[in-house]
Amino acid sequence: MAEVIEQVLRAALADPPEAVLDIMRLSLADWLAVGVAGQGEAVARITRDMVQAEGGAQQATFFGGGRGPARGVALANGAASHALDLDDTHFAHIGHPSVAVIPAALAVAEQQGLGKAEMLRAALAGCEASIRFGIVFGRGHYQIGFHQTATAGAFGATVAATMLLSDNPDVMERALAIVSTRASGLKSQFGTMGKPYNAGLAAANGVEAAYLAQRGFTSSRDAIDGPSGFLETHHCDGQAPDTSGFLMESVSHKFHACCHGLHATLEALHSLKPLDAATVKSVHIQTHPRWMSVCNKTSPATGLEAKFSYRMVTALSLLGYDTADLNSFSDALCDHPDVIALREKVEVVAEDALCETEARLLIETTDGSLIAAYDLAKPIGPSERSLRLRAKIDALLGEARGEMIWDAVHGAGGALEDITSRMG
């Protein structure tokens, strides 16, 4: 195996400090909440139904209830947890680590009868590998059209699933070689059920590769980086990051139930609160040019369109609607006169000098001018991250269920059942 792959694995399988495990716990709680919230979406129902029609061993738990074989459950749970697109993101990975990795880690840990600690450790190694493979695959891989969440995600899911089955490095090496011929996922699916499905297939591919490697399946040593290998065929142009720290430390969580391109703007608004909407005369938003074609619907008519509209989310936020709550993105609110009146005051312009993670706002009010800026790449402290995530989970599921999910992950018990009993 080449140096670059060894470097990725070394970093991913290193002993994690407790602070990094804490971040993984937050991602796990977030994943659990968005999966529960997403389990009724059509893509989640259809994928689960296909797997459940196959029957099989009761190895692992589906979002929405019931049990089935780990590989199929990983497929369905990956799709369910990415259905709402509210899960975590790693900008350097250019992908969503948890939705590809945790379904694989959890399903195999259940099948193996392991506990929360082993599962969490495997999920962290898998996410770390997923981020690092994403960086190795690089911007070229993403730009041409591969969905790193699915492709790098499958390698991450493989690392997580395999380390729950074996501590033999040869098994890990073979599992990664196997998944290199199985990994797939295209950006042409964006905006359709195919996007969440991509997370599910990454998780299932990881489980399959791990089980095959465990059984002695052999593959090519240079399947990833050799001739006709994954890197050569998949427009990969990145390099392994030269750090032994955990890149999962810089994972981002979504605190708003809308397109990630709108989050820096919402965080900048958040920093100005409390602000009386009645005093606002105009809002001028500067954002990275990339987002202008992604999430700048000027007059959204549906809740879905509202999730891709600077003007709409700005009006909602100023009027006090909770943008962490899915219900704030409704068709009805798009028609509400107060919302419409306020969004007419919002102007959005592209600014080349900004990064994709940044926004700058100038707000004119009857009391004077306000300026705010935010960069999502800015580190967020553990206690603030924890508070914001808990608030998001409560907004998504209500306080009572939010608390149960939080406790399932953070409680003292070591049994996986704490978690799986909350997936129904």
Q: Identify which of residues 110 and 358 has a Cβ nearer to a copy of itself in the complex.
A: 110
> What DSSP state is assigned to residue 62?
P
* Pair 154, 210: CB distance under 8 Å: no
Out of 168, 233, 299, 302, the only residue in the binding site for a copy of itself (CB under 8 A) is 233
Site membership for a copy of itself, residue 201 (CB under 8 A) = yes
- Under rule CB under 8 A, residue 41 binds a copy of itself: no
Q: Does 293 bind a copy of itself (CB under 8 A)?
A: no
DSSP H or E run through 394: helix 382-397
255 Cβ contact partners less than 8 Å away, ≥ 6 residues apart: 263, 266, 267, 324, 388, 389, 391, 392
Please say whether the beta carbons of 231 and 155 come within 8 A. Answer: no
| Residue 327 C-alpha from the chain's centroid | 20
Write the interaction track for a copy of itself spanning residues 348-367; mark x where CB under 8 A is met and - where it is not: --------------------
Q: Is 341 in the site for a copy of itself (CB under 8 A)?
A: no
Structural tokens at position 419? 């978690």
Closest CA to 147 of 98, 116, 118, 184: 184
Report the nearest approach of a copy of itself to the CB of residue 217 (Å): 5
Task: Tell me the C-alpha distance between 295 and 287, whole Å.
Answer: 11
Tell me: does residue 227 bind a copy of itself (CB under 8 A).
Answer: yes
Query: What radius of gyration, in Å, describes the C-alpha atoms of the chain?
Result: 21
Instruction: Please work out, in degrees rounded to the nearest 5, the angle formed at the alpha carbon of residue 169 by the alpha carbons of 166 and 171.
Output: 60
Per CB under 8 A, the list member of 112, 166, 181, 298 interacting with a copy of itself is 181
Can residue 388 be called a binding residue for a copy of itself (CB under 8 A)?
Answer: no
Nearest approach, Cβ of 361 to a copy of itself (angstroms)? 32
Q: Interacting stretch for a copy of itself, rule CB under 8 A, among 27-35, 47-55, 254-262, 369-377?
A: 47-55
CA distance 25 to 282: 41
Based on the shown chain and the rule CB under 8 A, indicate whether residue 230 belongs to the binding site for a copy of itself: yes
139 in contact with a copy of itself (CB under 8 A) = no
Q: Is 63 in the site for a copy of itself (CB under 8 A)?
A: no
Interface pick for a copy of itself out of 7, 27, 39, 47 (rule CB under 8 A): 47
For a copy of itself, give the closer residue by CB, 230 or 406.
Answer: 230
Q: Which positions from 86 to 125 touch a copy of itself by CB under 8 A, shown as an x/- string?
A: ----------------------------------------
Q: Is residue 49 a contact residue for a copy of itself (CB under 8 A)?
A: yes
Q: Closest by alpha carbon to 20, among 124, 103, 130?
A: 124
**Residue 71 lies near a copy of itself (rule: CB under 8 A):** yes
Rounded Cα–Cα distance for residues 193 and 29 (Å): 24
Is residue 219 near a copy of itself by the rule CB under 8 A? yes
Question: Taking CB under 8 A as the rule, does residue 22 contact a copy of itself?
Answer: no
Name the pairing type of β-strands 280-287 and 358-365: antiparallel
Binding-site size, a copy of itself (CB under 8 A)? 62
Q: What are phi and psi of 317, to 5 degrees?
A: -65, -45
* Beta strand spans in 245-292 (E): 280-287
Q: Are 196 and 82 in contact (CB under 8 A)?
A: yes
Contact 186, 128 (CB under 8 A): no
Q: Segment near a copy of itself (CB under 8 A), from 1-9, 82-90, 192-200, 315-323? A: 192-200
> What residue ranges bind a copy of itself (CB under 8 A)?
42-43, 46-47, 49-50, 53-57, 59, 69-72, 144-147, 150, 177-178, 180-194, 197-198, 201, 208, 211-212, 215-220, 222-224, 226-230, 232-235
